[in-house]
Structures are given as structure tokens and as C-alpha cells.
Amino acid sequence: MSKTIAKIRKEKNLTVNDLIRDNMSKSSYNRFAAGKADIHSHYFIELLKRLHVTLTELEYIDRGYVPKDINIW
């Protein structure tokens, strides 16, 4: 999902500095966005807030805009 966050940031024309502000270091974000490091849940939630994206929306985008399979049984 880290690469999806980076993709959304670019699509919304936000710079890395605009997104992270005082939340985390630029190098930490870049490692996270490249899929080379994890971040604390607090930072993750803050990134979602700043992108104006819910976790459900992020999952949907990450799946290529394909809804989850719903098992009705």
C-alpha cells in the first residue's frame, strides 16, 4: 500500500514536503514509499488524513479499483 500512497500523492499534485510536513522525515517517507521500510500506524493514519483518503478507499485503489469479493455464504 505504500506505493499506492505515493501514487495518490502524485495524482493530487502534492510534494513530499506538503504531505509529510512535521509528521516524519523525508528520508523515512521515501523509504516507506519505495516499499523498503514500514512506518508506525500513527504516521500511516496521518498520511491518509492529509491525502483525504480512508483506509477503505486506499484498499480499493490498491486493488486496482476492484471491489472486495463478498462471500454471502
Long-range contact pairs involving 18-24 (C-beta distance under 8 Å, separation at least 24): 19/47, 19/50, 19/51, 20/47, 21/50, 23/47, 23/50
Per-residue pLDDT tens digits for 11-66: 999 999 999 999 999 999 999 999 999 999 999 999 999 999 999 999 999 999 88
Residue 15's contacts (CB-CB under 8 Å, 6 or more residues apart) are none
Q: What is the pTM of this model?
A: 0.87
Q: In whole angstroms, give the CA distance from residue 39 to residue 32.
A: 7
The amino acid occupying position 39 is: I
